[in-house]
Amino acid sequence: MTAVLALIALATIGTAAAAMTRRSLLHSVLLLTGSWVGVAAFYLWAGAEFAAFAQVLIYVGAISMALLFAVLLTRRSREDFAPGPASRGRALYAILAGAALAGVLLAAIARGSLAVAPSPVPTVTVRQLGGQLMGPHAASLLVVGVLLTVALIGAVVLAAGTGPGKPGDAP
């Protein structure tokens, strides 16, 4: 059981790391989508099918598309991608920060007593989820709905340009 887990973990981390280090934006986005699929797999492994389904639908379907659009819309000149000298120092600093963070977290996990009895994979039916959503979490569901619409409109307003000018010209 844990072998499958390890496999999924390695895949996801690998694609994520690759996404972060690729020079070309497109490749990064695609690799990232891959890692999202890894995550979905983990959900499946954990027994939360609906979550996996949602992950795949939203992240892989929608967000990756949005990212692609964003990348395409903003690639005016090639030179954007050449990492300036400043980024060298930044990359090093970033790696250091990430490693420190990971070290701390892993140390905490190692020392932590997260022993847990082996338990069967819990199953949750969509009926249960629906009941839950419509029951105690009805309010938050509505809020999320509102949040999404507002975000949509906000994005459109921001992206549609501030002035009467056509998109892409200098403000």
Partner 1 sequence: MEPRVAYLWLIPALPLLAAGVGCVAPRNGRRLAAGAAIAAMLGALVLSCFALHLALADPSAHLVYNFRWFDLGNGAVRLGLLLDPLNGLMCVMVSLVGLLIFIFSLGYMDADENFTRFFCFLSLFAAAMLCVVVANSLLLLFIGWELVGLASYLLIGFWFHRPAAAAAAKKAFITTRIGDLGFLLGLVWLYDTTGSLLLYDGGNGVLESHVLGDLATQVLAGGLAASTAIGLLIFCGAVGKSGQFPLHVWLPDAMEGPTPVSALIHAATMVAAGVFLMARIFPLAAADQGLAAAPVHVLTVVAGIGAVTALMGAAIAVAQHDLKRILAFSTVSQLGYMMLALGVGSWVAAIFHLLTHAFFKALLFLGAGSVIHAAHHEQDIRNLGGLRSPMRATYATFSVGMMALTGVPFVFSGFWSKEAILHAASEWNVSHLPLYAGLAGVVLTAFYMTRLLCEVFWGAPRSPAAAHAHESPAVMTVPLVVLAVGAVALGFLGTPAWPWLQSQLTGEAVPAHSLLEGGGLMALSIVLVATGLGAGWALYGRRLRATAGADDPLAAAAPRLFAFLGARMKLDELYAATVGRLNTFAAALAVILDRWVWGGAVGFLARFGEFTGSVNRGVDEGGLNAGFDSISERIRGAGRAYSRAQTGETHGYLRALAVAFVVLALLALLGGGQ
Partner 2 sequence: MSPLQLCVAFSSVLFAVGLTGALARSNSILVLLGIELMLNAANLNFIAFWRYSPAPSPATGVIFVIFAIAVAAAETAVGLALVISIYRHQRNIRLQEATRLKG
Q: Which residue ranges make up the site for partner 1 (CB under 8 A)?
A: 90, 93, 97-98, 100-101, 104-105, 107-108, 111
- b/e 58-75 (16+ beta carbons within 10 angstroms → b): ebbeeebeebeeeeeeee
Minimum distance from CB of 171 to partner 1 (Å)? 17
Nearer to partner 1, 74 or 149 (CB): 74
Binding to partner 2 by residue 12, rule CB under 8 A?
yes
One DSSP character per residue, 102-137 reads HHHHHHHHHHS-------PPP---HHHHHHHHHTTT
The listed partner (partner 2, partner 1, none) that binds 12, CB under 5 to 8 Å by sort, is partner 2
Binding to partner 2 by residue 65, rule CB under 8 A?
no
Query: Could you count the other beta carbons within 10 Å of the beta carbon of residue 29?
Result: 20
- Site track 99-128 with partner 2 (rule: CB under 8 A), x = hit: x-xx--xx--xx-x-xxx--x-xx-x---x
Alpha-carbon gap, residue 170 to 150, rounded angstroms: 27
Binding to partner 2 by residue 139, rule CB under 8 A?
no
**Residue 1 vs residues 4, 41, 42: alpha-carbon distances, Å:** 6, 13, 12
Q: Applying CB under 8 A, which of residues 27, 41, 76, 78 lies at the interface with partner 2?
A: 76
Site for partner 2 in 27-56 (CB under 8 A): 28-29, 32, 35-36, 39, 42-43, 46-48, 50-51, 54-55
Nearer to partner 2, 110 or 164 (CB): 110
Are 12 and 42 a contacting pair, CB within 8 Å? Answer: yes
3-class SS of residue 53: helix
Binding to partner 2 by residue 60, rule CB under 8 A?
no
